């Protein structure tokens, strides 16, 4: 909560997001580009201290030192043109359908890059914090006071977590949850691994009757966020306490997913996700995933993903010359 009212953090986060998305921001002036464009407000140096102005030319490099020596009581940012996405969120108006689909695609692309490429995530990406300029096809994200990242030793395990959730692998999911239990801060011992797996399996099995895990191109009434909320509710009785940073990232995922589905209920999150793993997480090909220790049911799901997405994994792999 302190980070929400201390504008030094928002200034830092905005600068870092601008740095992470500098390539996409440079492409904003390229009208021929088919990808949706993204931007972040810039902080005005005229209303900050001299110490800030002296390093303003390095603003996009997010120099932490200037934040440590700056007390910001008022934050003045550049104006974001467009309409708040909340105006079209959860609507079924045919006139806004194309716009909603377009914004959902852009939010999805931004979110996956934050999670998988940058490991620096906007933690409050709801409809009220996204501004869409239809004329320029540009999404501007605001209110960046809350952002999070994971330590490197946790990041790769979190990749396993995402894959297990997406593919419905109860064995891998229980294993990662066991690893993420915060034994030190919670002063709670590690949960019983066998009971933990059984609880996770029972929960996922209940959702399988409702179309979980989602498969590319197949309508379903469940979302990943719904399933995960149920999983963590059911395992709480076993004394599982997740690491705080992992919990924040999971919450951020649920917020982003809710925004995407609210804009486009038919959005194929599962089918569009694998290329991002290939490009940013080292899945050189589908074989990399199949050799990751998943069970036979998961292999079948992956085969469907590979088949129904037009061989996207192979296409991305060839374009990138292997894992990027």
The total number of structural domains in the chain stands at: 2
Domain membership of residue 291 (yes or no) is: no
Instruction: Tell whether 143 and 172 lie within a shared domain.
Output: no
How do the pLDDT tens digits run along the chain, 324 residues long? 555 556 778 888 898 999 999 988 887 655 555 578 899 998 876 655 444 443 344 344 344 444 454 555 677 788 899 999 999 987 888 889 999 999 999 999 999 999 989 999 999 999 999 999 999 999 999 998 889 999 988 988 888 888 888 888 999 999 999 999 999 988 999 999 999 999 999 999 999 988 888 776 676 777 888 899 999 999 999 999 999 999 999 999 889 999 999 999 888 887 788 788 778 876 555 455 444 444 445 445 444 544 444 343 333 333 333 333
CA 301 to chain centre: 22
Instruction: Tell whether 27 and 95 lie within a shared domain.
Output: yes
Domain membership of residue 104 (yes or no) is: yes
Instruction: Tell whether 87 and 180 lie within a shared domain.
Output: no
pTM of the predicted protein model: 0.77
Instruction: Tell whether 139 and 157 lie within a shared domain.
Output: no
Q: What are phi and psi of 208, to 5 degrees?
A: -60, -30
Instruction: Tell whether 125 and 224 lie within a shared domain.
Output: no
Domain membership of residue 230 (yes or no) is: yes
Domain membership of residue 71 (yes or no) is: yes
At 122, list the tokens. 């906007």
pLDDT at 138 (0 to 100):
94
Instruction: Tell whether 121 and 13 lie within a shared domain.
Output: yes
- Identify whether the C-beta of residue 323 lies closer than 8 Å to the C-beta of residue 232: no
- Identify whether the C-beta of residue 213 lies closer than 8 Å to the C-beta of residue 301: yes
Q: Kindly state the helix (H) or strand (E) to which residue 139 belongs, with its residue range.
A: strand 138-141
Q: Kindly state the helix (H) or strand (E) to which residue 244 belongs, with its residue range.
A: helix 244-263
Q: Which residues pair with 181 in a beta bridge?
A: 242
Instruction: Tell whether 134 and 181 lie within a shared domain.
Output: no
Domain that holds residue 197: 152-272
pLDDT at 4 (0 to 100):
57
Q: Which of 132, 148, 164 is the last residue of a domain?
A: 148
Instruction: Tell whether 159 and 27 lie within a shared domain.
Output: no
Domain membership of residue 279 (yes or no) is: no
Q: Kindly state the helix (H) or strand (E) to which residue 37 belongs, with its residue range.
A: strand 37-39
Taking each helix axis from N to C end, the angle separating 152-167 and 224-235, rounded to the nearest 10 degrees, works out to: 110
Domain membership of residue 38 (yes or no) is: yes
Q: What are phi and psi of 37, to 5 degrees?
A: -95, 155
Instruction: Tell whether 46 and 159 lie within a shared domain.
Output: no
Q: Kindly state the helix (H) or strand (E) to which residue 297 belongs, with its residue range.
A: helix 296-308
Instruction: Tell whether 44 and 167 lie within a shared domain.
Output: no
How would you class 75 by CB atoms within 10 Å of its CB: exposed for 0-12, middle for 13-18, buried for 19 or more?
A: middle
Q: Which of 104, 124, 148 is the last residue of a domain?
A: 148
Domain membership of residue 256 (yes or no) is: yes
Q: Which of 254, 272, 290 is the last residue of a domain?
A: 272
Domain membership of residue 80 (yes or no) is: yes
pLDDT at 214 (0 to 100):
76
């Amino acid at each position: 909560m302190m980070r929400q009212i201390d504008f030094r953090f928002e200034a830092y986060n905005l600068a870092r997001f601008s740095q992470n998305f500098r390539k996409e921001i440079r492409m904003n002036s390229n009208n021929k580009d088919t990808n949706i464009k993204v931007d972040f407000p810039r902080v005005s140096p005229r209303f900050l201290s001299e110490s800030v102005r002296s390093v303003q030319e390095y603003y996009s490099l997010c120099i932490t030192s200037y934040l440590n020596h700056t007390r910001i009581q008022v934050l003045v940012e550049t104006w974001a043109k467009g309409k708040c996405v909340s105006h079209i969120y959860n609507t079924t108006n045919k006139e806004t359908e194309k716009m909603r689909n377009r914004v959902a695609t852009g939010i999805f692309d931004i979110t996956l890059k934050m999670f998988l490429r940058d490991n620096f995530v906007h933690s409050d990406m709801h409809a009220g914090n996204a501004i869409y300029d239809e004329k320029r096809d540009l999404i501007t994200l605001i209110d960046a006071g809350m952002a999070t990242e994971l330590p490197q030793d946790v990041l790769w395990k979190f990749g396993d977590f995402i894959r297990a959730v997406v593919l419905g692998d109860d064995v891998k999911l229980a294993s990662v949850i066991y690893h993420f239990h915060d034994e030190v801060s919670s002063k709670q011992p590690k949960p019983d691994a066998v009971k933990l797996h059984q609880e996770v399996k029972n929960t996922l099995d209940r959702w399988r009757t409702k179309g979980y895990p989602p498969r590319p191109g197949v309508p379903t009434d469940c979302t990943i966020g719904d399933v995960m909320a149920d999983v963590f509710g059911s395992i709480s009785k076993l004394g599982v306490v997740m690491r705080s940073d992992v919990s924040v990232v999971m919450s951020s995922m649920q917020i982003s997913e809710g925004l995407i589905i609210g804009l486009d209920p038919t959005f194929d999150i599962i089918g569009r996700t694998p290329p991002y793993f290939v490009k940013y997480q080292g899945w050189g090909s589908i074989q990399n995933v199949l050799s990751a220790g998943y069970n036979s049911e998961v292999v079948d799901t992956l085969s469907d993903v590979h088949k129904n997405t037009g061989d996207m994994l192979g296409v991305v792999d060839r374009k990138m010359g292997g894992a990027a």
